[in-house]
Chain A
Amino acid sequence: MAAGMLRFITCGSVDDGKSTLLGRLLYDAGMLADDQLDALRRDSRKRGGDALDFALVTDGLDAEREQGITIDVAWRYFHTARRSFIVGDCPGHEQYTRNMATGASQVDLAVVLVDARKGLLPQTRRHTYICALLGIRRVILAVNKMDLVGLDADIYASIVEPYRALAASLGIESVNALPVVSTDGDNVGLRSGRMPWYQGPSLIELLETLDAEAPPPPQFRLPVQWVNRPDQHFRGYAGTVCGGRVAIGDQVLVLPGGQGAQIERIVGPSGDLTEATSGQAVTLCLDRELDISRGDVIAAAAQPVPVADQFGCHLVWFGDAPLLPNRSYLLRLGTATVNARVTAIKHKVDVNTQAPLAARRLELNEVGYCNIDLDRPVAFERYADNRTLGGFILIDRQSNATVACGMLDFALHRAANIHWQHTDVDKATRALAKGQHPLCLWFTGLSGAGKSTIANLVERRLAAQGYHTYLLDGDNLRLGLNVDLGFTAEARVENVRRVAEVAQLMVDAGLVVLVCVISPFAGEREFARGRFADGEFVEVFVDTPLAECEQRDPKGLYAKARAGQISNFTGIDSPYERPAAPELHLHAEGQRAEQLAEQVLAYLQGRLG
């Protein structure tokens, strides 16, 4: 099958008709054999219906048949003339976030079901959030039970439009929507004649043609899975390539140790190869003897994989017992297993609204943003860049149960061997002397969004009220402290790190600090947040559409970027990652800076002491 394989999941709330849709999909693809159809007819009659109950095709286990709900991820296999499919049926029931995350970790596409009578439910938002959290970037929205709303185009539109906005806000890049009646098969296998207002493809046609697979990460990485050493004549490092390609003669670096070597031989599944690419299970031989073991990562020498032992990460908690900070768990990342403890739960995430909530522990099916500390450094990547080297599980040391999955966000850098010098006058003392609660207002947004203008207005008002303030402007800092930094991704990370450190020192000094930096990467904003105590960091997202920023273009930079005179310009040829849950979201389009400054001041009311 030339189109290759598509792995996807279906998710929806209880009674959205998910199992029915899946059963119908298998039926329409011609995958139900005669004996299975006979069993289906028998079982459908037992349930008291004459029509085929397609939900019975996929409900496998006794317990859930009795309860009438799907309680675990079930994997199904089908093919059409154009493509093979593996589909995970993910449960919609409230307490099974765990299974959704499990299913989502294996696929690149999700089919989200909505009952046309009910529209978007909190569960719809939750399922979409978990898909996005696990790295799914493409969703098919199937609005089901259209027959029960009179096959009405307006009702369909009233569900699809807000869903698109919701999905975009959560980081889903693409949504294909379609109306279906899964019991009757409308738009499942064949296009329906009953909804002429929908001219798009059927579900099967969509699945056959969508290019859902994320391109593999470009840089060569191979986590060593097994050292194959049958005798003294052969020593090979077996593993599956999880990024880029490698060829005989390539220079590689083995991490976290950092030893360099050259690729001497590549053993593939059917014999020796000259090169290997992402997805292949191979065995690499190096030109020199090194001490390499399972858990090490072999990477391109020119683009080595980073190494760290402290991270900011999202955790989805699966354990019956709650996550407790500082308890030791086993962490498995790539092929490495190390001891780990969660040093801080920065916040938990309300999975229905994505609002950050204060938390001291994480309970079953809760999602949290945490700092995690390992007992030794490991090679890693951000989950957004590489699922294999950024996705991990936590294992309970006593029961051996898998109690969480996690997605690495960025490394926290520990200054080894340098110890904090205690001083007698502390932050509280300094704040008291100034009669205020210090905090950091972190303005993020595109160039020309209005960050500095708004911050300037806010600072004037605060100063007028007698507060001790300081405005750290990204551009100004680049003229001094950060004069050595350019605009590559690495330089931007370092830029934000320095600004965050300076802001933190100023907050420590008791000041109200206003920071204006584009800070395009969520990871660095989270790093900045991690430098402050709870409640001290206020992320202000100045949300001005790119078109408007470009039209304003106060410094003429967009014109230069469009003309190709400057590169790595945020919004043009360098990404801006929208904040998922800022404390303040300023919708700046069509608003005057004064109005937006008022919103910031209103937020600060009562928070500065």
Chain B
Amino acid sequence: MQGLSHLDDLEAESIQILREVFACFRRPVMLYSIGKDSTVLLHLLRKASRPARPPLPLLHVDTTWKFREMIAFRDRVAAEGDVQMLVHVNQDGVRQGISPLTHGSAVHTDVMKTQGLKQALDKYKFDAAIGGARRDEEKSRAKERVFSFRSAQHRWDPKQQRPELWQAWNTRIREGESVRVFPLSNWTELDVWEYIRREKIEVVPLYFAKERPVVMRDGALIMVDDERFVLREGERIEQRRVRFRTLGCYPLTGAIDSRADTLDAIIEEMRASRSSERQGRIIDHDGASSMEKKKQEGYF
């Protein structure tokens, strides 16, 4: 690909993967998590189908514990009207009152995120679900396929994954089976930010540093986003200049002290950074190789 820049190369590869989904699946969907990776993915989705509108809907599995700014951002994206936004909440979990604060991150994530996702996939009978996961995020992701095969029970079996040669993907599945598709497989976190800057893509403001009310809990800076967050003894809310490197459920997402309030500053900060992206994700630390176990159970 002489003459194409590194970002052009990644962009072209992602568009090719998305078009493969358009062409080969009957009921595809894009999982939309509102974060920077999903935002880049949506941008690429629009490019892949240009000048037509994206030929598939977005699905947000809402755990009811997302940051308020995330939900506002999602609703603005939906209001643009060129793409259908489906929102699914695991009502069983809501009835049981599942909360990350009382049930812990493992139970909350399993019920509201993993089970919620499976419910939605079954409800709409999606045969391909596009996600924004990148191989550089975590060790077990390094071996993930671009087209990752899932059984009818949504299980991921590392031994059943198909070898992927060239761009000759094998997209064939039987009734009930599905694939997860990862167009950003070969992107790094830095690539994502450089692309956001180049393409002038709007992202959730939580990525930029600002004075925010936070509490130090279990070694992480947790933002107090609504009244459901109850202070423990000895905890106190302080105003700190922080931002988020990844976004999820607010009680499970650690902020970092930062002064980076522009894209240039974020990219500069990342180049100098000495910690990895998922450090702020509390759910990854649940056990050794915990991400691999979650994937086998059907987590994205």
Which residues of A are in contact with B by a Cβ distance under 8 Å?
A: 1, 4-5, 33-36, 58-63, 65, 72-77, 79, 84, 86, 98-99, 101-102, 105-106, 213, 215-216, 225-226, 228-230, 234, 236, 238-240, 267, 269-270, 277-281, 283, 294, 318, 330, 332-335, 387-388, 391-393, 395, 400-402, 405
Q: Which of B168, B186, B275, B292 contacts A35 (CB 8 A)?
A: B275
- Cα A318 to Cα B170 in complex, Å, equals 14
Sample 8 A-B pairs with CB under 8 A, ordered by A number. Answer: A34-B274, A60-B139, A63-B158, A76-B142, A281-B48, A330-B172, A400-B172, A400-B174
- Chain B residue with Cβ nearest A33: B276
Residues of B within 8 A of A230 (CB): 51-53, 55
Q: Tell me whether B297 is interfacial, beta carbon within 8 Å.
A: no
- Chain A residue with Cβ nearest B46: A269
- Cα A267 to Cα B168 in complex, Å, equals 23
Interface contact B166-A106, CB-CB below 8 Å: yes
With A105-B166, A405-B165: A400-B173 Cβ-Cβ less than 8 Å: yes
- Cα A334 to Cα B172 in complex, Å, equals 16
With A234-B51, A281-B15: A33-B1 Cβ-Cβ less than 8 Å: no
- Cα A490 to Cα B117 in complex, Å, equals 57
Question: B136 CB to closest chain A CB, in angstroms?
Answer: 4
Task: Report the number of A-B residue pairs with Cβ-Cβ less than 8 Å.
Answer: 165
Name which of B19, B174, B185, B190 has the most chain A CB atoms within 10 A of its CB: B19
Question: B241 CB to closest chain A CB, in angstroms?
Answer: 21
CB interface residues, B 164-185, toward A, < 8 Å: 164-170, 172-174, 185
With A215-B2, A395-B170: A281-B19 Cβ-Cβ less than 8 Å: yes
Residues of B within 8 A of A279 (CB): 1-2, 4, 8-9, 12
Q: Tell me whether B273 is interfacial, beta carbon within 8 Å.
A: yes
Extra contacts, 6 of them, besides A225-B16, A281-B15, A405-B165 (Cβ < 8 A), are: A72-B158, A216-B1, A230-B55, A240-B167, A279-B1, A393-B168
Residues of B within 8 A of A36 (CB): 276
Question: A8 CB to closest chain B CB, in angstroms?
Answer: 13
- Cα A405 to Cα B4 in complex, Å, equals 28
Residues of B within 8 A of A101 (CB): 163, 165
Residues of A within 8 A of B143 (CB): 60-61, 72-75
Q: Tell me whether B47 is interfacial, beta carbon within 8 Å.
A: yes
Residues of B within 8 A of A392 (CB): 168
Interface contact B19-A226, CB-CB below 8 Å: yes
Residues of A within 8 A of B158 (CB): 61, 63, 72
Residues of A within 8 A of B276 (CB): 33, 35-36
- Cα A516 to Cα B73 in complex, Å, equals 74
- Chain A residue with Cβ nearest B188: A77
Which residues of B are in contact with A by a Cβ distance under 8 Å?
A: 1-6, 8-9, 11-13, 15-16, 19-20, 22-23, 47-53, 55, 135-136, 139-140, 142-143, 158, 161-170, 172-174, 185-186, 188, 190-191, 273-276, 279, 289, 292
Interface contact A267-B5, CB-CB below 8 Å: no
Interface contact B162-A33, CB-CB below 8 Å: no
Residues of B within 8 A of A98 (CB): 163
Q: Which of B52, B170, B185 contacts A234 (CB 8 A)?
A: B52
Question: A314 CB to closest chain B CB, in angstroms?
Answer: 13
- Cα A77 to Cα B190 in complex, Å, equals 11
Interface contact B52-A33, CB-CB below 8 Å: no
Question: A397 CB to closest chain B CB, in angstroms?
Answer: 9
Question: B26 CB to closest chain A CB, in angstroms?
Answer: 14
- Cα A109 to Cα B20 in complex, Å, equals 27
Interface contact A102-B165, CB-CB below 8 Å: yes
- Cα A422 to Cα B142 in complex, Å, equals 59
Question: B12 CB to closest chain A CB, in angstroms?
Answer: 4
Residues of B within 8 A of A393 (CB): 165, 168, 170
- Cα A288 to Cα B143 in complex, Å, equals 45
Question: A396 CB to closest chain B CB, in angstroms?
Answer: 9
Interface contact B186-A77, CB-CB below 8 Å: yes
- Cα A267 to Cα B185 in complex, Å, equals 25
- Chain A residue with Cβ nearest B9: A5
- Cα A238 to Cα B274 in complex, Å, equals 41
Question: B113 CB to closest chain A CB, in angstroms?
Answer: 22
Residues of B within 8 A of A60 (CB): 139-140, 142-143, 292
- Chain B residue with Cβ nearest A106: B166
Question: B40 CB to closest chain A CB, in angstroms?
Answer: 13
Residues of B within 8 A of A281 (CB): 11-13, 15-16, 19, 48
With A34-B274, A74-B143, A279-B12: A402-B6 Cβ-Cβ less than 8 Å: no
Interface contact B2-A216, CB-CB below 8 Å: yes
Residues of A within 8 A of B22 (CB): 226
Interface contact A269-B140, CB-CB below 8 Å: no
Residues of B within 8 A of A283 (CB): 50
